Amino acid sequence: MYRNREDQRSIQAKTRLYRALAHTMREKEFPSITIKEVVQAAQVGRSTFYRNFDHLEAILLWKCDEAFADLYRYIVQSLTRTPADTAGKYPFILPFFRYWQEDSEIVELLIAANRIDVIVAAFETTTEKLVLALQPAVRKEAPYFDYFLAFRSGAIVHVLLHWIRHRKNLSPEQLHQFIEAQSEGLV
């Protein structure tokens, strides 16, 4: 786990540790990286590491949570600027892929660490939060909301992973059109 300290010093230390881990993961596979290596690369003390994280994986969990919180804000902001009639049937999709088009490093690192489950869990949490905030009636209208969420999350996350593994070979707009076309009749 990681500690949710929001003071500037903790945030700076966590960011340095994340940058050091990301750099080290470009050179070595995740399972062979040690805390000692990351602490040295970050130029922080071992006690700083343990004040913020329990293990190396927690750095990735923290950064993933940070990225998905930022994604949530980005999507809400995007949807408040986009007229409802131009957003399509699935208004979350286009800003979702636009966000990851700009910076998908944490997703790439989680793929490399073989922790796709972390991405899925973060996506499900963020999607549920978005749906309940922006379309609260869906929860009442969909008797199997949890299955709806699992289905949509699985599909979108796997499209995201495929897209990133293929070096983002389609634009976010193309992905949005593809997903809308594929989901016709699946609602």
Residue whose structure tokens are 């299955």: 147
pLDDT of residue 90: 80
What average pLDDT does range 44-48 have in this prediction? 97
What average pLDDT does range 74-91 have in this prediction? 79
Side-chain-side CA neighbours of residue 27 (13 Å): 10
Query: In 3-state terms, what secondary structure has residue 2?
Result: strand
- 163 Cβ contact partners less than 8 Å away, ≥ 6 residues apart: 97, 100, 169, 170, 175
* Model confidence at 115: pLDDT above 80: yes
pLDDT of residue 168: 97
pTM, whole model, 2 decimals? 0.90
Residues 125-141: tens digit of each pLDDT: 999 999 888 777 777 77
Dist. CA 62–CA 82, nearest whole Å: 30
| φ, ψ (nearest 5 deg) of residue 24 | -65, -35
pLDDT band at 148 (very low <50, low <70, confident <90, very high): confident
Tokens of 10: 């903790």
30 neighbors 113 (Cβ within 8 angstroms): yes
- Give me the chain's average pLDDT, please: 92
DSSP code at position 141? H
Estimate to the nearest angstrom the gap between the alpha carbon of 186 and the chain centroid. Answer: 25
Dist. CA 159–CA 133, nearest whole Å: 24
Mean pLDDT lowest among 31-35, 82-86, 137-141, 169-173? 82-86
pLDDT of residue 176: 93
* Model confidence at 81: pLDDT above 50: yes
Percent of all residues in the chain with a pLDDT value above 70, rounded to a whole number: 96
